Amino acid sequence: MRLCVVACSALVLGAVYGSQRESADSSPPIDSPGAGNDSIRAFLKDVWPALSSAGKPGRVYYHANCSPNDHSSPLSPLEFPKIDVQPPLSTGSDLAVVRSIFRRDHTVTVAEDETGIVRIRIGEVPDAILRTRISTLSLDARRQFNVLSAIAAIESAPEVQSVMRTLKIRLPVTAQNFRVILPDESRPHLPTEISNVAMDQALDMVARTWGGIVFYGACARPATYQIFFADSVYFLGAKL
């Protein structure tokens, strides 16, 4: 199985908080969502097959390992923590199988909500930004049909930007090279408008629409977060 991990949290907001590069070629993503990519690969190697076989999208929230920053230089991509991942047990419910992967790591909790999304939390995650209410978000065709563009649009919502300024949140610098999907009603896509949802609920829509895993990592000091998406194609251009 091959996995694709592509990083988001790439915006230009007056000052450069991040950068995003789009390409119409068919090459896989070549960016790095952050340090600790071996940890991400180890995490996904067992988690993705368990979720995929159950037909369930996933959300991962993690407390990242962050280095102090004096605000005079750009933030580096966040480091994914090392998790004690075990081969899943083969019996029990779909949720029990996913939980069994982390049976030796008590920093991880796994739950499934009423919408069928499996939520994995790693440590105590600063998530105030995710509770931001978005009144109305209009999406053009590119943002409807491209997962990275959709997430960037959610992060660019005026309400989210206002809370970011209030909480003094800065975003790490990332760069993406990803294939742009042209509008095609047969492909996964979001509606033209999203209204009256929390930022976290909007990201749930992304996970369900594209059938993948939306990651949210955050630090309190410095106040920063990073979002990236994983699906079944490639992980950093390398086959698993």
Q: pLDDT tens, 53-65?
A: 899 999 999 998 7
- DSSP-derived 3-state class of residue 97: helix
Residue 240 lies in a domain: no
For the cut 60, the answer to whether the pLDDT of residue 13 exceeds it is: no
In a domain, 65, yes or no: yes
pTM of the model: 0.83
What per-residue confidence (pLDDT) applies to 177? 63
Number of domains in the chain: 1
Considering only CA atoms, which of 24, 30, 29 is closest in space to residue 182?
Answer: 24
pLDDT digits (tens, 9 = 90+) for 67-81: 766 555 567 788 899
Predicted confidence band at 172 (pLDDT cuts at 50, 70, 90)? confident
Across residues 36-41, what is the average pLDDT? 76
Domain boundaries, position 215: 4-231
pLDDT at 194: 96
In a domain, 236, yes or no: no
CA–CA gap between residue 50 and residue 94 (Å, rounded): 7
